[in-house]
């Protein structure tokens, strides 16, 4: 169940409405359009785990939206809101997201209807291993069929348990580690996965601000420097996005909204300190260094340049869309804007950087992790020192020439250090992510500016994604 009011379409219907708006502008055979839109299948499992002396029953789902490419990919969410409609909506978004950023996967998503804060670590491990067992048995976790990743309420720890569960059940599978992504580094993970979605948000905004016409369309000028940003949800995605944008791009995080209220400071909040407080106290209440506002929702409507919803779906809906003052909204969460709110915001000229693009950093780096697991070698391991040796040759030659010319000029020491250092895995991952975010933005932008009948980035993104999925189905003879 999303945060949207009951009089609005469900999350899945909302995604379908957005799909339909794009598909109406395309020339797809009607049968193919329907084939792409519908969810291929959803598996529901109810399982019991003995906890605190009695058996508790849990309900979990794994939806597979499209298998035009395999494996299918998508996170596993732990939240009380999880239901079939939600996982189907999220699985559909995964299909379009993977197509848009050219990650060679179909779309999937899973969820367990549980509030993880109600259980201790040992209990969560028991529950997770049992849920994973049910999915593994049916190839719904499998390196070449279905590869989960973290989502709301799950992280590296849960992915490590799932990977270990798969390895225990498939002792001879040499590619076992590729069965889930988002694992810790020491369990087959990749450098930069934890920060990836937030980092992708930063790269998406940087790319947006490289195009003055796009910035102007959102009623702004200049760069990210000094822009006022409000973030909802300081979890994995929101925290990393807020941290990078404030520390590296000069943006000011003027508002942070969490479950128990919000903090507001026009001169900019210290993201690290707020995050530290949130982790230690489980909420923002009592944070001493900023104005706190009990009604968090109201802060979403306050004056700012960029609004980044990074918590859950349906938070910008028919009841508040008219009041949102941000000129640019970046959907770091999946589905934070309902289809109805999207209509209102577009008619008001608000520019929206849509979820299928904006939060694709996670799946992009998951793709790199999966490739790393299948190739059984860390990125950069073969090239790094060789690259450094070649750079050293160039520097030695420059210094020899300089000496021959009577020491006329000197290379600055910082240049030498930077130039000499071969790229490690983290640098390569960031480079691949940056390239992906830039390329995907360009492909959406071409449609946004290139067609008279497309007036927003979401429709453009859907058109690019649907076209790619359609091409892949056509190649299979469908
Ligand atoms: P998370 O569990 O790490 O963080 C979610 C945060 O939102 C928490 O701090 C939580 O307290 C807060 N929150 C929950 N309900 C709230 C409410 N009603 N109001 C304000 N804050 C609230 O989850 P995450 O991984 O950061 O995921 C957030 C969103 O990003 C989800 O929509 C998820 O699908 C999407 N996403 C995540 C990833 C990823 O790699 N983790 C990738 C793509 C998309």
Tokens 């128990």 correspond to what residue?
Answer: 260
For ligand 1, whether the C-beta of 316 sits within 6 Å is: no
Distance CA(175)–CA(446), nearest Å, equals 39
For the Cβ of 403 lying below 6 angstroms from any atom of ligand 1, the answer is no
Q: What is the pTM of this model?
A: 0.96
Nearest residue CA, atom 18 of ligand 1?
Answer: 259
Under 8 Å between Cβ of 234 and 242:
yes
Q: Using CA positions, which residue lies closest to atom 43 of ligand 1? A: 359
Q: Does residue 93 line the site of ligand 1, with CB under 6 A?
A: no
Any idea how long the chain is? 478
- Distance, CA of 369 to CA of 309 (rounded, Å): 26
Q: What is the pLDDT of residue 1?
A: 45
Q: Do domains 41-187 and 219-349 have the same CATH topology?
A: yes
For 436, phi then psi, to 5°, come to -65, -45
pLDDT of residue 412: 85
Q: Long-range contact list for 171-177, CB < 8 A, 24+ apart? A: 173/143, 175/143, 175/144, 175/373, 175/374, 176/143, 177/143, 177/373
CB 113, CB 82: distance < 8 Å: yes
Residue 411: its pLDDT value, please? Answer: 81
Architecture per CATH, domain 219-349, reads as 3-Layer(aba) Sandwich (3.40)
Domain spans of the chain? 41-187, 219-349
Q: Whose CA is nearest to atom 27 of ligand 1?
A: 152
- Is it true that the peptide bond before 71 is cis, omega within 30 degrees of 0? yes
Q: 75, 97, 148, 235: which to mutate for ligand 1, most atoms within 8 A of CB?
A: 235
pLDDT on residue 2 = 53
Instruction: Compute, in angstroms, the gap from residue 90 CA to the centroid of ligand 1.
Output: 13
**4-43: per-residue pLDDT in tens?**
677 899 999 999 999 999 999 999 998 999 999 999 999 9
Contact 140 CB / ligand 1 (< 6 Å)? no
Residue 194, ligand 1, Cβ within 6 A: no
CB of 333 closer than 6 A to ligand 1?
A: yes
Distance (angstroms) between ligand 1 centre and the Cα of 333 equals 6
Q: pLDDT digit string (tens) for 218-255?
A: 999 999 999 999 999 999 999 999 999 999 999 999 99
The helix (run of H) or strand (run of E) holding residue 341 is helix 339-347
Name residues of the chain where pLDDT drops below 50: 1
For residue 440, the model assigns a pLDDT of: 98
Ligand 1, atom 39: nearest CA belongs to which residue?
151
> Do residues 100 and 356 lie in contact, with contact meaning Cβ atoms separated by under 8 Å?
yes
Q: Is 8 in the pocket of ligand 1 (CB under 6 A)?
A: no
Active centre residues (catalytic):
109
| The pLDDT value given to residue 3 | 66
pLDDT at position 477 is 78
- 234 CB less than 6 Å from ligand 1? yes
The closest-lying atom of ligand 1 relative to the alpha carbon of residue 234 is: 9
Residue with CA at minimum distance from ligand 1 atom 30: 333
Q: How many angstroms is it from 237 CA to the middle of ligand 1?
A: 6
Measure 251 CA to ligand 1 centroid, in angstroms.
21
77 Cα: distance to centroid of ligand 1 (angstroms): 10
Question: Residue 362: CB within 6 Å of ligand 1?
Answer: yes
Report yes or no: 193 and 181 within 8 Å, Cβ to Cβ.
Answer: yes
Residue nearest to atom 28 of ligand 1 (CA): 311
Is CATH 3.40.50.10860 what the domain over 41-187 is classified as, yes or no? Answer: yes
Ligand 1 pocket: which of 204, 233, 369, 429 to mutate (most atoms within 8 A of CB): 233
* Ligand 1 atom closest to the CA of 366, numbered from 1: 40
pLDDT value, residue 6: 73
| 394 CA distance to ligand 1 middle (Å) | 47
Ligand 1 and 71: CB distance under 6 A: no
- Nearest alpha carbon, ligand 1 atom 31: 333
* Cβ count within 10 A of residue 257: 28
Ligand 1 mean position, distance from CA 357 (Å): 16
Angle in degrees, CA 186, 190, 195, rounded to 5 = 110
What's the token pair of residue 213?
A: 């016409």
> Ligand 1 in contact with 359 (CB < 6 A)?
yes
Q: Is the CB of 181 under 6 A from ligand 1?
A: no
Strands 54-66 and 41-51, how do they pair?
antiparallel
Q: What distance in angstroms lies between residue 236's CA and the mean position of ligand 1's atoms?
A: 7
Q: In 3D, which of 369, 371, 364 has the Cα closest to residue 436?
A: 364
Ligand 1 in reach of 236 Cβ (< 6 A): yes
Ligand 1 pocket test: pick from 152, 231, 287, 313 the residue with the most ligand atoms within 8 Å of its Cβ.
152
């Amino acid at each position: 169940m999303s945060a949207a009011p009951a009089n609005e379409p469900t999350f899945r219907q909302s995604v379908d409405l957005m799909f339909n708006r794009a598909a109406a502008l395309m020339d797809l055979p009607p049968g193919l359009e329907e084939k792409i839109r519908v969810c291929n299948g959803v598996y529901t499992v109810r399982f019991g785990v003995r906890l605190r002396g009695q058996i508790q029953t849990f309900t979990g789902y794994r939806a597979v939206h499209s298998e035009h490419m395999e494996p299918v990919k998508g996170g596993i969410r732990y939240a009380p809101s999880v239901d079939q409609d939600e996982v189907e909506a999220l699985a559909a978004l995964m299909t379009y997201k993977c197509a848009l950023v050219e990650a060679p996967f179909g779309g999937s998503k899973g969820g367990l209807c549980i509030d993880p804060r109600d259980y201790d670590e040992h209990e969560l491990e028991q529950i997770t291993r049992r849920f994973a067992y049910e999915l593994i048995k049916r190839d719904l976790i499998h390196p070449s069929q279905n590869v989960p990743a973290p989502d709301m309420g799950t992280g590296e720890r849960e992915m490590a348990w799932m990977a270990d569960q798969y390895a225990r059940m498939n002792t001879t599978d040499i590619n076992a580690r590729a069965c889930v992504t988002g694992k810790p580094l020491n369990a087959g993970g990749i450098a930069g996965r934890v920060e990836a979605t937030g980092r992708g948000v930063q790269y998406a905004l940087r790319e947006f601000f490289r195009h003055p016409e796009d910035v102007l369309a959102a009623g702004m000028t200049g760069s990210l420097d000094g822009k006022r940003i409000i973030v909802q949800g300081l979890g994995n995605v929101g925290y990393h996005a807020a941290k990078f944008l404030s520390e590296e791009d000069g943006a000011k995080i003027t508002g942070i909204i969490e479950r128990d209220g919000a903090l507001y400071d026009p001169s900019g909040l210290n993201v690290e300190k707020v995050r530290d407080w949130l982790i230690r106290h489980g909420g923002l209440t009592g944070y001493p260094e900023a104005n706190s506002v009990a009604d968090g929702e109201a802060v979403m409507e306050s004056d700012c340049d960029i609004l980044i919803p990074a918590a859950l779906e349906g938070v910008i809906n028919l009841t508040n869309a008219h009041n949102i003052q941000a000129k640019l909204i970046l959907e770091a969460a999946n589905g934070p804007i309902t289809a109805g709110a999207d209509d209102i915001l577009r008619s008001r000229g608000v520019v929206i950087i849509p979820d299928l693009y904006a939060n694709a950093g996670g799946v992009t780096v998951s793709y790199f992790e999966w490739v790393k697991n299948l190739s059984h070698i860390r990125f950069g391991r073969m090239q790094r020192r060789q690259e450094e040796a070649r750079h050293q040759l160039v520097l030695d030659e420059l210094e020899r020439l300089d000496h021959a010319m009577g020491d006329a000029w000197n290379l600055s020491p910082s240049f030498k250090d930077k130039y000499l250092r071969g790229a490690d895995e983290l640098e390569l991952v960031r480079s691949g992510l940056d390239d992906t975010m830039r390329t995907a933005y360009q492909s959406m932008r071409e449609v946004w500016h290139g067609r008279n009948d497309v007036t927003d980035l979401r429709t453009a993104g859907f058109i690019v994604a649907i076209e790619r999925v359609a091409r892949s189905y056509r190649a299979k003879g469908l």
